[in-house]
Amino acid sequence: MHSACVVRDTEAMIVRELVEGEWPLWRALAIAASRDSPDAFRPTTEDHLATTDEQWVDIVDSTVRHPRGCLWIAETDDERVGMVFARIDDGCEVADFGAMWVAPSARRAGVGTALLDAVERWAVDRGARILEC
C-alpha cells in the first residue's frame, strides 16, 4: 500500500496518492469527469453508475496496493478537483498515465501541472525512463 503522500501542497491545493478504502473519492471524480467530458472517458457515466461498490473497492484498492500502480487526487479547500492514474510496465521502463481530469472550477490554476508532476516524480523514483499517456 502507498502512503498518503502529499506531492504538492500549496495554500490552495494538495495533490496526494489515494490509499485503500478511498474508493468513494475516485468514484465521485470518475463520474464527474465522465459527465463533464463524455467523449474523453471510457467507461461512460452510465457504466460508472452501474458499477457496484464492491467493484469500485476492487478497482481502487488493487491499484493502490500494486507496486507499479498509483492513483492521485487534487484537493482544494476540501473539494476534490482533479484525478490521474499511472502504471509502470512489466519492464519498469515505461510509465503511462490516464484518466486525468481537472474540474472546470479549478482549471488554469496549476492543478493539471501538479498532477503530472506527481506522476513524473513517482515514475522516476521507480526507475521509469519514459512517460506516455
115-125 average pLDDT score: 95
Domains in the chain, CATH or no CATH each = 6-132 (3.40.630.30)
Given this model, what pLDDT does residue 7 score? 52
Given this model, what pLDDT does residue 94 score? 93
Looking at the predicted structure, is the pLDDT value of residue 15 above 70? yes
Given this model, what pLDDT does residue 2 score? 41
pTM above the 0.75 mark? yes
Looking at the predicted structure, is the pLDDT value of residue 105 above 60? yes
Encode pLDDT of 56-101 as tens digits: 999 999 999 999 999 999 998 879 999 999 999 988 899 999 999 9
CB 30 within 8 A of CB 83: yes
Given this model, what pLDDT does residue 55 score? 96
**Separation of alpha carbons 56 and 102, rounded Å:** 21
Average pLDDT across the chain, whole number: 90
Given this model, what pLDDT does residue 133 score? 84
